[in-house]
């Protein structure tokens, strides 16, 4: 029963939406910015809807079937939260969300199986990293250009490394034509690449955070991610791997808040 509940929770895309929200919040926190409640709602709501679009809407359109009532309710809930947050934003923010939304639509097209950007060899991981990093740096455009570039680079590295355990897990299930990083490089090489990226992110954490405590929390999260990559197995239930990977930004946000509050 616990496994069924966990599976339903992961499949609802609520967990990954919370992960995206936490990821964006912690990046703003590190730079001394507070994301407004409305912007947080926009990020969470449309992030939730975007993942549901891929998991629910596209399969339903391809298979020419109706979306189930619980799925329709979660889709509507995500849209309401998203538009509630976006309605008061500036034109620039609207344009950024429209741009990311267009990429999300092109990521998986409802014209049949294997239509969309995600099916272009090796491209999937970089599209996800670009979208997440764009939203994570949404409120940080007042930063000095060089510093902003470092923060954006760190965000991209974070997402690339977070996706690696999921791609390793799917190695035996993904079509060879996708040419994911584990397929192209092999498990050992992609893990070594991940450790190198984690080391780079550690250096960037020290360079970009406005608090040594926040940098320390981030480094601890990077160590946790490295351990997870080291332990990932292709025969583990994907729901467990997704739960662990996507929980890291939520834990990171919680520990960062505690570090600023109590230390």
Using one digit for the tens of pLDDT, what is the confidence trace for 137-172?
988 888 888 999 999 999 999 999 999 999 998 887
Question: How buried is residue 251: exposed, middle or buried, by Cβ count under 10 Å (0-12/13-18/19+)?
Answer: middle
Q: What is the pLDDT of residue 16?
A: 95
Q: Which of 49-58, 203-212, 227-236 has the lowest mean pLDDT?
A: 227-236
Q: What is the pLDDT of residue 1?
A: 40
Confidence band for 173, pLDDT divided at 50, 70 and 90: confident
- Two tokens, residue 42: 């926009």
Q: Is the pLDDT of residue 7 over 50?
A: yes
DSSP letter for each residue of 196-250:
HHHHHHHHHHHHH-S-HHHHHHHHHHHHHHHHHHHH--TTS-HHHHHHHHHHHHH
Q: Is the pLDDT of residue 4 over 70?
A: no
Confidence band for 237, pLDDT divided at 50, 70 and 90: low
Mean pLDDT of the chain: 91
Dist CA 186 CA 81 (whole Å): 41
Average pLDDT over residues 211-219: 96
Q: Is the pLDDT of residue 136 over 60?
A: yes
Dist CA 78 CA 73 (whole Å): 9
Dist CA 28 CA 26 (whole Å): 5
Q: What is the pLDDT of residue 101?
A: 95
- Of 219 and 109, more confident: 219
- Two tokens, residue 188: 């050992």
Give 71-118 pLDDT, tens digit per residue.
999 999 999 999 999 999 999 999 999 999 999 999 988 887 778 898
Q: What is the pLDDT of residue 30?
A: 95
Whole-model pTM: value is 0.93
Q: Is the pLDDT of residue 2 over 50?
A: no
């Amino acid at each position: 029963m616990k496994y069924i509940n966990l599976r339903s929770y992961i499949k609802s895309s609520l967990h990954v939406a919370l992960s995206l929200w936490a990821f964006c919040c912690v990046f703003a926190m590190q730079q001394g910015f507070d994301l407004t409640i409305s912007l947080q709602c926009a990020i969470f709501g449309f992030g939730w809807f975007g993942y549901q679009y891929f998991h629910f809407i596209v399969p339903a359109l391809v298979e020419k079937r109706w979306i189930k009532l619980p799925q329709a309710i979660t889709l509507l809930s995500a849209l309401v939260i998203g538009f509630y947050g976006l309605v008061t934003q500036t034109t620039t923010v609207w344009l950024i969300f429209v741009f990311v939304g267009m990429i999300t639509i092109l990521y998986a097209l409802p014209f049949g199986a294997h239509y969309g950007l995600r099916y272009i060899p090796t491209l999937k991981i970089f599209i996800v990293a670009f979208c997440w990093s764009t939203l994570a740096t949404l409120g940080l455009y007042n930063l000095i250009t060089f510093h902003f570039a470092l923060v954006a680079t760190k965000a991209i590295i974070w997402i690339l490394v977070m996706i690696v355990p999921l791609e390793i897990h799917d190695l035996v299930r993904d079509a060879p034509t996708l040419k994911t990083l584990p397929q192209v490089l092999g498990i050992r090489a992609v893990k070594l690449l991940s450790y190198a990226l984690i080391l780079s992110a550690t250096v960037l954490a020290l360079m970009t955070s406005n608090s040594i405590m926040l940098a320390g929390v981030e480094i601890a999260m990077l160590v946790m991610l490295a351990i997870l990559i080291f332990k990932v197995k292709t025969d583990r239930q994907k729901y467990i791997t997704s739960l662990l990977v996507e929980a890291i930004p939520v834990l990171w946000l919680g520990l960062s808040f505690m570090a600023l509050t109590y230390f």
